[in-house]
Structure 1
Amino acid sequence: MAMNYGNLAPLAATTSDDSQDETVQPDADAAGEAIRGPYEFDAAHVSVAVSMVDDAFATAVDSFDAGLSIMKAAIPAGTVRAASLRAVLVDALTNSLRLAPGGEKAGCFLDPADGGGGSGGLAAIRETPDDVVRLWRGIAASVSAAGAVAHFEDLLFCRHDGNGRARATRSGEAYLTAVHGRAVDIPVVEMLIRAWTLARNVRNSGLDADARSAMFTAVSDVMAARPGERPGVVLPMLAALAAGPLEVKGTPTVDPLDVDGLLRQAAEDCHDGRHASEIARLRRPRTSDPVAREAIAREEVAACFRSADAAPQAAVRMIRLEEAAQIAKKRSLPDLERVAAAGMQAIKPADLGFQVVSASEPLPTHVAEGFLHPYTRSPDWRDGLDFFLASDPPSGDIDDLRSHARQARSGLSLILPPLLFAGGLPRMRAATAADQEKHEMSFFAGVRAENIARLTAEGLDRLAAHYGIPSEDDLVDFFMSRGSRDPRAARTLAKAFRHFWHGDYESSIHLAAPAFEGAARNLLIELDEGIYRAQADKEPGGYPGLYTLISELEKLALDESWAYFFRWLLGGPYGANIRNTIAHGLPSEMSPAVAVLTLRAVSVLAVVVGATSTRVHTSNNITRDRETVLNMLASPTPLSGKSDRLLGWVADRLGRAAWTVDLLRIRLARRRTPKNHT
């Protein structure tokens, strides 16, 4: 980050040698006071500044390092406005080189030459005051250190001062001189690419050729010494080289450098899928041959396989194989996609090293009992089931979930997007901000829903223990009397409840989940919505899928919180995905909580919304007007009074528990995340 050292409190830097410490005090004018305020040019400043800058660049790694030396350098006694001179020199040197971000057009820029107004209080270079520019001119004309010449000529070029082509050429040549004989590191890469960028800016083919030759040598040396390593050094220069030589009008463009060979060698040495994709991105535009392009794609996937083979942990191997599968699919390489998929399937879930984190929030007995009491308080078991049918969405209010999701997003989740697994295989990566919000909403919805479901399961068990398990016919009669308009659906739901009470949760879930789709479809048909899709070409006719049915109901009137609960429970990728899990025979938890949630979802559409306005002991043959159905979709289960307050209290406490679990999850991820090494 660039900083305006001229605006700091009085400078007091300490240097030391073997014998004594020397404190450098703030510079002062003739009156002995520190100078602050706008810089005023003084011709005598040029020679002083030249000496200081040359000395600083004699040992500096880059301009920023030189600026740190200027802060500690002594200024000759008697120099007028010495503090102001030091400040503008430090400001000038704090304008530093910056490589274009990966994936963008190759180049290197002098920050803040992009016109963004600078950072840390520095003015944009183009807005630099004339007095400061006069000092820059004097320094650029007189310094001898190559790094100093390059930097101040570059500043003047960015300021649009003087002959731009001459400034850029002299700066670029000085950058190339400054890096000569130095070990290749990031500052060297920045100066090489900056020289190349300046050549492109003024279309100087000679400077372009010199810069490309220097980069080619640097890349070749690094790749020969450490094959497949140091991507931060190699990739930016490869991106510049891949752009080809500068075209000169009237002259055929022939690259004297074997850049394709260098790129091919880089691809063969690469052991990281992301870097392999970057190399492939540089190679593809350089050929129109489909066979060559396929070879590039295969080498890109091969790098992912090499990375997977070298992975020390099964989880890392899984991620690398997933990258390979995604690239193979994108590049239309089905044979390699199958190889990657087979490798992923061969990894056992137990080897992935998943850890379970948990948190608890004490629930006072009177609160829990207050919630459970309505299931058995009446002489009739039907009143207990009526309480079940009147409860709110187990996942909570949609606005609360969004609020929790926004607050829960941490800096870690922005750097390491969550990756969801299902059945031991990667299911979804929350790469975008929108996906991360969906992931966090799903997390809080899951915590709330599971705990509310556990309480509800206890309530239903108490109902059966207190009254005995109702017969199938009695349950069918109950659901029909509460509004169900389909006797077959009512019987299916009755069987599912009885399976639950007998402890056969798997059968309960497998019966109830498909019934939800039928209930949703029947409601849309009752509302005269034309959802049937006629045959088109080879597509057979039929009704749309689950997600479309829920979306259609939501467009009409379905309460948004209930719509979210349905999607979260039955669909994916952010949710329990119960419907798809059981439909495809995938491993899934068949617990009392999951069974209760499935029964709750089906009963909303099959029974509660199926009811007429009286909701009690009405004939299922009564024809309802459209407005009645829409009103019930908009408010399917209005709670009031004590039950509403109790459920709100429980949801609030469970929300706090969810926060604790999320905090533990973040801390665990931080401990397990390896440090990045350049």
Structure 2
Amino acid sequence: MGVDPTVLAGIAEVSVEFASLQELLQRWIARVNAEAWQGQAAAEADALWAALCFHVTERGGLAGDFIGHDADRWPANPQAVSDSAVETWADYAEAVGHPMLRARLHHLVWEARKRFPHARKAIEDYTEAVPRFLGMADRSAGRCRASDCLCFAYDLAVRLSVRDLELITKQTMIGFVRELFDAPQEAAPGLVLEILRKLVGRNASDAAVQALLSRATSIHSGDIAVLVELLQLRIAGTQDPQERTALQRQIVESLLTEAERFPGFVRLDRLNAAAIAARDYGLEDLFDEARVRMQAIDPDQLGMGSFHFEFPLRRDEIEDYSQKVLGQARTLGQAFSALASLPAPSGTRQAAQEHARRLASEGLLSSFVPSIRINAAGPVPVAEARVRTAADDENEWHVTAMMLTSVYVHHLLETVGDRFDPTAAQLAQLFTADPIITGTRAVKLALAFRYYWSGEYDAALAIALPRIEGILRETLRYRRIPILQPPQGDSRGRVTLLTTLIDRVTDAGMHADWQAFLRLLLVDSDGGLNLRNSELHDLSDTETAPQTVALVLLAALHVTAHAHQAAAPASGIGEEQQRG
């Protein structure tokens, strides 16, 4: 097919020396726009442009993002590139001067058409480019590109089982790391780790590789993050149990020592990492030491702040809503039926998804900021730090909807209490739905409502929360939905707990929106209120808000109404709801 001399001269001029393929791409774009080649020359220039737009994927392949100048976009998969473009890459790979550019073109031809000679040439040219980059005036950029070339060459050689070139590349990598060690004033732990990860993955027990790891551990002992990873790489290559344990102890002790350098959350984070490592390594003494240090931290020392948001609600709006819900209620049963029939306070999933999509389009920055949840009663992180997802945004919308609705629910319940002022006996009779809600359970639930109306919110919350779990469990039992976990192996048999019960409530006819509300309100520790755990395990030291208790009592009314529907009682909430 041949090579256009003007295009070859252009690419040769801009590629004499470059610090990265991205830099070379920018130069080539400027050159192509300035030359305005036509016909075959333009096609060859575009093929080179596309070649520079390919990048290495996580799996080691190449993927492109060149748009092209015609109506049809260039394919991202090199195997879908036209034969003429692949031939252009092959021709220019033999003609251009810079070894990394040659390597990239040979690499692309291999990925596109699996021509083995081009794979060998790519490995050879990547290796040849190393001294060229190390001789650059910009030593930092040169070392980075040299590392890239070595990793490209080694990955290709390993993937293709080209043993001779793999050994050559391995020796070059070892020499490269030794040169980095010999220039401590230019320490580059990131490059050292990048090369050593590759070598350990293939040669974990190799004496030369272990020697590099040992020397690297000594040189970078002051950088705990680097030191820990180096020690982990050394562990991967040792078969001696005593040496392995010694290295594991060194990792945990290093994390414990580093933790002492920091206050607040950073100290907690380091101690948490030490505890996890000690647990995974089976080092019980260090595991206990890390945990004792964590729990000695005062939550007030973590440096966390509270955010408060105010949502203005008009009194007349609340009154209008109350009249709309309870205006037709002539009896206590009708009032409770109206409350139990309300839409789920957490809103619909469709609305939450729309909110998440809007945030994704408008709040791009938030999706890149990692966050973490902490149980301050420990204090201890309860999840790994991660960026927000659409599910997180949906949960946040649901919880916000719950908190807004709680104001209205609180007013509705206060209105019911003022209007009917029922006794505990009257409430118990209304709640009873044998055999699901027995008299004893109904009396306890009645006490929760009486405590609420008398302003004893903590007592109301403590009594109502277990009743919800009991009513759900007995409703599922009555519906012939399994609620037992028989013994298995060393584990004992048990009754299914609340989280699993909530997962099954839709099988008993509950609406999915109410299921989501119960999960967020009672057991969701990732984004919900998690009241069952935070309150009954005394993990919260904040004052109990009446609006929160109102949500719990509303949940109790809803599951009670379902129990009545299942048991088909002669009277009570179920009958009132059916009449409504």
- Please give the range of the TM-score, normalised by the shorter of the 2 chains: 0.7 to 0.9
Q: Check the 8 A contact 1:405/1:441 in 2, yes or no.
A: yes
Q: 2:148 aligns to what?
A: 190
CA contact (8 A) 2:272 2:380 kept: no
Residue 571 of structure 1 contacts residue 579 of structure 1 at CA under 8 Å; is this kept in 2? Answer: yes
Alignment match, 1:11: none
CA 449–287 in structure 1, closer or farther in 2 if over 3 Å, else same: same
Residue 267 to residue 493, structure 1, CA distance change in 2 (3 Å):
farther
Match of 2:129 among 159, 162, 175: 175
Of the two, which has the highest radius of gyration? 1
In the TM superposition, what is the alpha-carbon distance from 1:508 to its structure 2 partner? 0.8
- 1:38 is matched with none
> What is the rounded CA distance, in whole Å, between the counterparts of 2:78 and 2:351 in structure 1?
47
Shift of 1:187: 1.9
CA shift for structure 1 position 175:
1.4
Change (3 A) 1:378 1:479: same
Q: For each residue in 1:346-385, what CA deviation from the matched residue of structure 2 results, as whole angstroms up to 9, or x when unmatched? A: 3333333434445555545443212223658877666544
Deviation at 1:507, TM superposition (A): 0.8
CA distance in 1, matches of 2:209, 2:488: 57
1:508-657 aligned at under 5 Å gives the runs 508-529=460-481, 531-532=483-484, 542-574=494-526, 575-589=528-542, 590-606=544-560, 609-610=563-564, 617=571
Deviation at 1:168, TM superposition (A): 3.8
The one-letter amino acid of 1:572's match is D
Partner of 1:440: 393
Aligned counterparts, 1:456-475, within 5 A: 456-465=409-418, 469-475=421-427
Residue 509 of structure 1 and its aligned partner are, at CA, apart by 0.7
Give 1:391's match in structure 2, choosing from 342, 345, 368: 342
The alpha carbon displacement at 1:446 in A equals 1.9
Paired AA for residue 285 in structure 2: D
Distance in 1 (CA, whole Å) between partners of 2:45 and 2:426 is 89
Aligned residue number for residue 49 of structure 2: 91
8 Å CA contact 2:231, 2:251 repeated in 1: yes
- TM-score of the superposition, structure 1-length normalised? 0.68
Partner of 1:393: helix, strand, or coil? Answer: coil
The 3 A distance-change label for structure 1 pair 457 and 535 is same
Q: Structure 2 stretches of 5 or more lacking a match?
A: none
Paired residues of 2:86 and 2:109 also in contact (CA < 8 A): yes
1:427 equivalent to 2:382? Answer yes
Change (3 A) 1:301 1:223: farther
Distance of aligned partners of 1:473 and 1:227 in 2 relative to their CA distance in 1, 3 Å threshold: farther
Residue aligned with 2:343, SS:
coil
Give the residue type in structure 2 aligned to 1:426: P
SS in 2 for 1:428: coil
**Structure 1 residues 262 and 414: alpha-carbon distance in aligned structure 2, compared to 1, 3 A threshold:** farther
Does the CA-based 8 Å contact 1:481-1:616 persist in structure 2?
Answer: no
What corresponds to 2:237 in structure 1? 286
Letter paired with 1:502: S
Contact 1:315 1:353 in 2 (8 A): yes
- Label 1:148 to 1:437 Cα distance change in 2 as closer, same or farther (>3 A): closer
Cα displacement (A) at 1:407: 4.9
- Secondary structure at the aligned position of 1:570 is classed as helix
The alpha-carbon deviation at position 190 of structure 1 amounts to 1.0
Distance 2:514 2:351 in 1: 13
What secondary structure sits across from 2:317 in the alignment?
helix
The Cα shift of 1:505 comes to 0.7
Query: What is the Cα-based RMSD across aligned positions, in Å?
Result: 4.6
Give the structure 1 partner of residue 299 of structure 2: 349
Q: Structure 1 residues 561 and 162, CA, compared in 2 at 3 Å: closer, same or farther?
A: closer
Letter in 2 for 1:393: A
> Does the CA-based 8 Å contact 2:180-2:186 persist in structure 1?
no
The corresponding residue for 2:404 is: 451
Q: Distance in 2 between matches of 1:244 and 1:177?
A: 24
| Map 1:111-150 → 2, pairs under 5 A | 111-112=62-63, 121-122=73-74, 140-141=93-94, 144-147=97-100, 149-150=102-103
Q: Deviations over 1:500-533 (max 9, x none)?
A: 1221111111111112222223323434556455
Q: Which amino acid aligns with 1:319?
A: D
SS, match of residue 610 in structure 1: helix
The corresponding residue for 1:644 is none
Q: In the superposition, relative to structure 1, how do residues 238 and 573 fare at CA in structure 2: closer, same or farther (>3 Å)?
A: same
Q: Is the 8 A contact 2:278 2:284 kept in 1?
A: yes
Indicate if the aligned counterparts of 2:471 and 2:560 stay in contact, CA closer than 8 A. yes
Contact 1:238–1:263 (Cα < 8 Å) also in 2:
no
2:272 is matched with which residue? 322
Cα 1:229/1:601, change in 2 over 3 Å: farther
Which residue identity does 1:348 align to in structure 2? D
Partner of 1:566, secondary structure, is: helix
Higher helix share goes to which structure? 2
C-alpha contact (below 8 Å) 1:495/1:508 kept by paired residues:
yes
CA shift for structure 1 position 52? 3.8
Percent identity between matched residues is: 20
Question: What is the alpha-carbon distance in structure 2 between the residues aligned to residue 308 and residue 172 of structure 1?
Answer: 42
Counterpart Cα distance in 1 of 2:276 and 2:43: 57
- What TM-score comes out, normalization by structure 2 length? 0.78
Q: Deviations over 1:561-619 (max 9, x none)?
A: 2222222222132322222223322225421022112222223334553268987746x
Partner Cα separation in structure 2 for residue 202 and residue 538 of structure 1: 47
Q: Tell me the distance in 2 between the aligned counterparts of 1:636 and 1:256.
A: 78
The count of aligned residue pairs is 563
Deviation at 1:492, TM superposition (A): 1.1
Query: Matched residue of 2:564: which SS?
Result: coil
**C-alpha distance in 1 between matches for 2:459 and 2:547:** 14
Match of 2:288 in 1: 338
Cα 1:216/1:163, change in 2 over 3 Å: closer
